[in-house]
Amino acid sequence: MQVNGKHYRTVWMEDDKVYLIEQNLLPFKFEIFVSNDYLETCRAIKEMLVRGAGAIGTTAGYAMAQAFMQAPENDWHQFNIMAKSKIEATRPTAQNLFYATEKVFQAAINNASPIQAAQAAAERIAEEDIAACKKIGEFGNALIKQKANILTHCNAGWLAFTDFGSALSPIYSAHASDKDIFVYVDETRPRSQGARLTAWELSNQKIPHKIIPDNAAAYFMQQGKVDMIITGADRIAANGDTANKIGTLEKAICAKEFGIPFYIAAPSSTIDLNCKSGKNIPIEFRSDDELLYQTGIDEDNVMRKIRVSSPDSSGLNPAFDVTPAKYISGIITEKGIFKPEEINNIFKLEQ
């Protein structure tokens, strides 16, 4: 993605430092956060400086590599086991995180040069994420017709992966192939990743779009304004059930009611064949502050946090919900587009 004429990845590593686009400041400020050790990188994941399945995975891989660099000689193995547990505790729903930590950990402990092996494995995860998302764009573009009106939810774009994105990658590919498309951008409460991040990305790419309230999506579907829906995923179970940002389930149910195709876009690193169904996917609950407060920029260009709810009330804030496979028209991966019920057999053969 180009920002102010320069190409950026969402996250990258140089020497022993991890560099991340500070997403909590977007779209008002574009800043790079520099993490000096694995604990700082853990905090960046937990506090959502970086977010999105692929970007979390790449960042977790880099954090694991940082841990191997920091490990003391006299407690080397135990230190890295502990570090792996701390990294994995940051965001329990995102499958890419576990995929990355395990890949880097195994590469390092089985090599005579563990630090170099960890760094190489982390970089492979980043490169594979980029390549997979590019292919998702190519396959998904084939589903998008000229003058299509597309609804998406949350941010599954460039910022959610190392580059290109998942749900937005077909949209970028369609735009690049001169298709006349329009995107409805769910605001995605409570953190407004759609309104703040997806809309910012689409603006950068000059793709026509409008931000809509989350609870307006069914209205636009009923009016015949939506031709297809593409969302991302944080974990896909073996039976095709899919966890994604809270609010995805209701979009899928409405799509079924109005006969609108509903697609999930995700790389194979998001598929968890050890998870039999959506019932086995852990759902992260986050602080109710995200629900009770909003952060924005005032007329003096200062970021401020204000309460927007009843002062005497608390909240419940699940970060994800699970869409059953029966509501999903297809899952767009770097290997092709598959029915949810095909996922287990196809990707079992790949492993």
User: Residue 190: is the preceding peptide bond cis (ω within 30°)?
Assistant: yes
Adjacency order of strands within the sheet including 330-333: 209-212, 182-186, 149-152, 228-231, 262-265, 330-333, 336-338
Tokens of 2: 């180009």
Which amino acid, one-letter code, is at 121?
A: A
Question: What's the N-to-C CA distance of the chain in angstroms?
Answer: 31
CA gap 264, 76 in Å, rounded: 41
Closest alpha carbon to 97 in 156, 134, 55: 55
Q: How many CB atoms lie within 10 A of CB 127?
A: 13
CA gap 137, 147 in Å, rounded: 17
Inter-residue contact 150 to 182 (CB < 8 Å): yes
Which of the residues are catalytic?
234
CA gap 276, 280 in Å, rounded: 7
Inter-residue contact 198 to 154 (CB < 8 Å): yes
* Cα 130 from chain centre: 13
Helix ranges (H only) for 71-168 are 76-88, 95-109, 114-141
CA gap 22, 55 in Å, rounded: 12
Tokens of 108: 């390092």
CA gap 17, 44 in Å, rounded: 13
Tokens of 80: 């890295």
Q: Which residues pair with 323 in a beta bridge?
A: 242
